[in-house]
A = this chain, B = another copy of it.
Amino acid sequence: MGILGIIVEYNPFHNGHLYHLQTSKELTKCDYTIAVMSGNFVQRGEPAIVDKWKRTQMALKAGIDLVIELPVVYATSTAENFAYGAVKLLDSLKIVDCISFGSEKGDLNELTKIAEILLEEPIYYRKALKEYLKSGITFAKARELALQKVINNNEIEKILQTSNNILAIEYLKSLKKIGSSITPFTIKRKGSLYTSLELKGEFASASSIRKHIFEKGLEGLEKYIPDFTKEILQSSFEKKQGPVSLEEFSNILIYLLRNHIPLNHIFDVSEGLENKIYKASYKTNNVEELMKLVKSKRYTESRIRHILIHLLLNIDKQIFKEFDGPNYIRVLGFNEKGKEMLREIKKKSPLPIITKVSQYKEKLSNTKMFEKDLFATDIYTLAYKNSSIAGLDFIHPLIKL
């Protein structure tokens, strides 16, 4: 049996995701699919619009056979950490044959070249990078110019401008780094750019869909999301469990910052940035506004978002040193084929499978990373307008289709 692995957020699941899934199955000729999915907080550095169980339902309805949670520590980190955590997890299942990811570029040649250079940093690349850095430009720009010089391809700038290419490069880097035997495939993304906020074209971006939901609700999205997505969102919103946005955590974040909770233990925080963030918290109680105040050429919004989410979730940078990838396989849901795969994984993977959360202490020698997932859920549910309870991971049933 051919097994396909994909890395997803499904925030929420839309027709572009469906296209990617179906095309990936055709291309790789795999007949089993595993998704590693972000949990209640996502790579953009914000809470998911609905919780991980609801998004698991979407995934299974769409034809995924097994959904595994990407630990929140990786899910909310940089593209590099996100990709490494996800690829390492897929690889450690020891049953995945192929991985397929979207990219704006749509073919692996150039992406692989870039990934190899970034991973291996050959001396001629490092030399070029050093030269460019001397001229006082940002690291990202210097890296781009050095790559361009080394690969001698004037498309590099364009490739590095879009987020799915960047993630694709990170996936390829990670596969290479861990010496994975998984075969990579990429599918050219159709429709709007990831970051587009406009609903248009054949496929709308998840960002534009979320924006529409927050501003206008679910009506008018029929062209862009499958019926099951609409139904799942609808029923979540009726239960007052979502749509969840970062703004619901504004008060908590600004409170922590005005209280001068230290930030220097958080990944990617420099002293100058720490002070800038504290200062901004004195000027607003809205976290989106705070980010606008802090954002600059030097400090990207994405970096600030990740810092704020790690502050909220109490994630210390130390954890990235303590762990080399996820140390557990947290199952969120599956169908019959998923069940079959779980039996295989149990035989072949070195990592413990967690289906009953109450057993995590017996199954894990180091519980720190897993406990961050539990805490993330306890914080996520603060945004519920109705019956918010903690410890949901202990009692929420697995999603089965």
Contacts and interface: CB of A to CB of B under 8 A. Distances in A.
A165 interface: no
B258 A255 contact: no
Nearest to A384: B285
Interface in A282-296: 282-286
A137 B387 CA distance: 36
B390 A282 contact: yes
Interface in A359-401: 375, 378-379, 381-382, 384, 387-391
A252 interface: yes
B389 A254 contact: no
A379 B379 CA distance: 20
A162 B281 CA distance: 42
A234 interface: no
A33 B188 CA distance: 78
Interface string A236-280: 000000000000110110110011000000000000000000000
Interface string A293-325: 000000000000000000000100000000000
Contact of A382 (B285, B379, B382): B285
**Copies of this protein, total:** 2
A45 to B, nearest CB: 18
Contacts of A391: 282
Contacts of A251: 248-249, 251-252, 382
A293 to B, nearest CB: 12
A203 to B, nearest CB: 35
Contacts of A254: 382, 388
A384 B285 CA distance: 8
Which 9 A-B pairs give the minimum distances between C-beta atoms? A285-B388, A282-B390, A258-B378, A252-B255, A285-B382, A251-B382, A252-B252, A258-B390, A251-B251
Interface of A: 248-249, 251-252, 254-255, 258-259, 281-286, 314, 375, 378-379, 381-382, 384, 387-391
